[in-house]
């Protein structure tokens, strides 16, 4: 029996084991996945929990139910990968040998990495994150109580998963406060280490003007050094006071990645950006947020990459060259409040451009434009996630980005 071991049953891990289970002969392959949690979270739903648009029970399911019956699930915490001996060690000492390893343990927010954030006495009192289930749930009553003052939405450092999520949070907060008649009593600030709302110029201009329209002040190039009581302090000594801080802490890969000597300074696994094979190894891949590819950390990227990876893996395991090449394709709905949203679609080489998706000229989705259909697309995605993406069913969206339907604005 050949043995494929997958670490993490999040978005990437679940899709990959379910897809490969169909492609790899059951008599020849044993597929095992290791996961420390017993529930799988639909993380895009965390955005809506603070505003009570989703109920907590809508964003999670038992992990076990999402995996094909013939995939072996081991509940446990990964301690270390011993790549020299092709085995993984769990915290309880259990050892799991493998022929092929897929690291899909994602990234997680680490408020402990910024002095004063977790340990300053304000965590979950006036400082919240919505990148974890607990954080998003705890923020709901804090927003209910908030009746004016300084609300700061903040990104600690890049990269983060779903880089548009903090912007969406700011747009939804603006909408939420308007509905409650509180908007005039609130100073809303968006503090980012980037020079503007987004990295790529066309989307940055569009999203930046959406912040302006909503009178959300932007504090660019703001790299936080520490949190001092009710103030964010940057390395260049700027200070941003807050009454309520919604921060995205530093996003870091799993500790075991560092412990195993497989990670960079953020515990991300360096990989070949087209095949996702870990640099220096022939039998270790890193999928989803856990790797260092230069595109967004997003479920959509995990999905498109998994399509390419699955076909490649079958070739690789048969001793043939991998013929697929991942292009960095990402697409993200950007919820903008007032029942509307945008869509962005891009890859390693092409920045988000205006146009239509997925059918050129028809859409129904509009790229870089606020429409109600885009908002419905975002909401429909939850159903797609549970019923099509995670089970690894074919989704009628090409893995590679297409230029059809896109137009480049004149300089």
Ligand X SMILES: Cc1cc2nc3c(=O)[nH]c(=O)nc-3n(C[C@H](O)[C@H](O)[C@H](O)COP(=O)(O)OP(=O)(O)OC[C@H]3O[C@@H](n4cnc5c(N)ncnc54)[C@H](O)[C@@H]3O)c2cc1C
CB of 165 or CB of 278, closer to ligand X? 165
Cis? peptide before 159, omega within 30° of 0 = yes
User: Which one of residues 17, 306, 332, 343 is an interface residue with ligand X (CB under 6 A)?
Assistant: 332
Of these partners, ligand X, other proteins, none, which one is at the site of residue 248 (CB under 5 to 8 Å by kind)? none
Residue 300 is a binding residue for ligand X (CB under 6 A): yes
Task: Give contact residues for other proteins (rule: CB under 8 A).
Answer: 157-159, 163, 193-195, 199-200, 221, 223, 225, 235-236, 264-266, 294-296, 330
User: Which one of residues 50, 135, 288, 354 is an interface residue with ligand X (CB under 6 A)?
Assistant: 288
Which residue matches tokens 């603070």?
Answer: 50
Of these partners, other proteins, ligand X, none, which one is at the site of residue 105 (CB under 5 to 8 Å by kind)? ligand X
With contacts defined by CB under 6 A, name the span among 38-46, 181-189, 232-240, 386-394 that binds ligand X. Answer: 38-46
Number of residues in contact with ligand X, rule: CB under 6 A?
36
Residues 6+ apart with CB under 8 A from 218: 189, 190, 191, 192, 196, 197, 208, 211
Cis? peptide before 358, omega within 30° of 0 = yes
Residues 6+ apart with CB under 8 A from 118: 111, 112
Q: How far is the CB of 320 from ligand X (least distance, A)?
A: 27
Q: Which residues sit opposite 297 in a β-bridge?
A: 161
What is the DSSP annotation of 212-239?
Answer: HHTT-EEE-S--EEEEETTEEEETT--E
Q: How far is the CB of 236 from other proteins (least distance, A)?
A: 5
Which H/E stretch holds residue 309?
A: helix 299-317
CB of 13 or CB of 163, closer to other proteins? 163
Residue 256 is a binding residue for ligand X (CB under 6 A): yes
Helix/strand/coil percent split, the chain, to 5: 30, 30, 40
d(Cα 395, Cα 18) in Å, to the nearest integer? 14
CB of 244 or CB of 290, closer to ligand X? 290
Q: Which of 258, 186, 253, 188 is nearest to 217 (CA)?
A: 188
Of these partners, ligand X, other proteins, none, which one is at the site of residue 223 (CB under 5 to 8 Å by kind)? other proteins
CB of 114 or CB of 331, closer to ligand X? 331
Q: Report the interface residues with ligand X, using CB under 6 A.
A: 8-13, 34-37, 43-44, 46-47, 77-78, 104-106, 130-131, 161-162, 165, 254, 256, 288-290, 297-300, 302, 332-333
């Amino acid at each position: 029996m050949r043995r494929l071991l997958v670490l993490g049953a999040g978005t990437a891990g679940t899709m990959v084991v379910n897809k490969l289970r169909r492609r790899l002969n059951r008599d020849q392959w044993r597929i095992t996945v290791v996961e420390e949690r017993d529930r799988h979270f639909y993380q895009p739903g965390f955005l809506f929990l603070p505003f009570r648009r989703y109920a907590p029970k809508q964003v999670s399911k038992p992990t076990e139910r999402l995996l094909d019956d013939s995939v072996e699930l081991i509940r446990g915490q990964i301690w270390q990968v011993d790549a020299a001996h092709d085995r993984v060690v769990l915290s309880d000492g259990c050892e799991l040998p493998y022929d092929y390893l897929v690291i899909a343990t994602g990234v997680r927010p680490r408020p402990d990495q910024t002095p004063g954030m977790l340990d300053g006495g304000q965590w979950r009192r006036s400082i919240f994150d919505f990148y974890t289930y607990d954080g998003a749930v705890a923020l709901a009553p804090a927003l209910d109580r908030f009746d004016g003052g300084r609300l700061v939405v903040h990104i600690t450092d890049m990269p983060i998963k779903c880089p548009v999520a903090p912007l969406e949070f700011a747009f939804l907060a603006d909408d939420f406060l308007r509905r409650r008649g509180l908007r005039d009593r609130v100073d809303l600030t968006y503090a980012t280490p980037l020079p503007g709302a987004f990295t790529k110029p066309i989307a940055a201009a569009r999203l930046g003007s959406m912040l302006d329209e909503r009178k959300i002040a932007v504090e660019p190039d703001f790299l936080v050094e520490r949190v001092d009581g009710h103030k964010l302090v940057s390395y260049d000594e700027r200070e941003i006071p807050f009454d309520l801080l919604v921060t995205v802490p530093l996003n870091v890969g799993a500790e075991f990645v560092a412990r195993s000597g497989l990670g960079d300074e953020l515990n991300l696994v360096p990989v070949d950006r087209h095949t996702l094979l870990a640099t220096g190894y022939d039998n270790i891949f890193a999928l989803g947020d856990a790797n260092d590819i230069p595109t967004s950390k997003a479920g959509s990227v995990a999905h498109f990459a998994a399509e390419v990876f699955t076909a490649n893996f079958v070739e690789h395991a048969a001793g043939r060259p991998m013929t697929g090449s991942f292009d960095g394709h990402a697409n993200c709905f950007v919820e903008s409040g007032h029942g509307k949203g945008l869509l962005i679609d891009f890859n390693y080489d092409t920045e988000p451009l205006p146009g239509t998706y997925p059918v050129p000229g028809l859409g129904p989705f509009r790229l870089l434009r606020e429409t109600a259909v885009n908002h419905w697309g975002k909401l429909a995605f939850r159903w797609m996630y549970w019923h099509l993406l995670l089970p690894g069913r074919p989704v009628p969206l090409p893995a590679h980005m297409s230029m059809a339907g896109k137009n480049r604005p004149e300089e």
